[in-house]
Amino acid sequence: MDIRKPNELEMGKIIELSPQAIFEGTLGEVNPTIEKAKQLVEPLLHKGSYYLISSENNELMGWILIGGSKDQFVNKPIGFIYELFVVDEYRGKGISKHLIKTGVEQLKQEGYSEIRLSVFEGNQAMKIYESLGFKNRTITMSISL
């Protein structure tokens, strides 16, 4: 398994699968078009965020989108994991953990002393994040009216 930045063809595949990634990441609350997915991701890419992909034999297996952000209260720079996705047929093989570990190491090398992410309550990825040392920092609560 190779983890690296994607080439142009692989970026196209990521964009093609992004609506599924968003749909699953939001537990079905958001079902975006490809255009909406691009609108969500392009500002991050323009600000320096980037994808790392997992591939083997030229097959895209999954990706992580990482970059910098700032703590909204103290303006401290932080690393951020914006998206994590593994293609259906490659799930259950430890690819998520490998992508997260590589992303964390990359952000650490870029000088970030803290890395954050957001995840929907009930998302199975929470177990992976917790196993790698991530802890609840804030909780967003809502009420449907």
One-character DSSP codes across 3-15: EE---HHHHHHHH
Report if residue 141 sits inside a domain: no
pLDDT tens-place string over residues 50-107:
999 999 998 999 999 999 999 988 999 999 999 999 999 999 999 999 999 999 999 9
CB distance 94 to 24 below 8 Å: no
* pTM (2 d.p.): 0.93
CA distance 30 to 19: 9
Report if residue 137 sits inside a domain: no
Report if residue 89 sits inside a domain: yes
Sorted by sequence, the CB contacts under 8 Å of residue 58 that are 6+ apart come out as: none
Q: What angle do CA 109, 115, 119 make, to 5 degrees?
A: 140
Tell me: pLDDT of 119 over 90.
yes
* Total of domains in the chain: 1
Report if residue 136 sits inside a domain: no
Report if residue 105 sits inside a domain: yes
Report if residue 58 sits inside a domain: yes
For β-strands 50-56 and 59-70, DSSP reports them as antiparallel
Tell me: pLDDT of 45 over 90.
yes
Report if residue 140 sits inside a domain: no
Read off the CATH number of the domain in which 48 is found. Answer: 3.40.630.30
CA distance 73 to 84: 26
* Cβ atoms within 10 Å of 87's Cβ, excluding its own: 17
CB distance 125 to 84 below 8 Å: yes
- In this prediction, what percent of the chain has a pLDDT beyond 90? 86
Helix (H, G, I), strand (E, B) or coil at 60: strand
Report if residue 144 sits inside a domain: no
Residue ranges making up the domain that contains 58: 2-131
Tell me: pLDDT of 12 over 90.
yes
pLDDT tens-place string over residues 30-40:
999 999 999 99
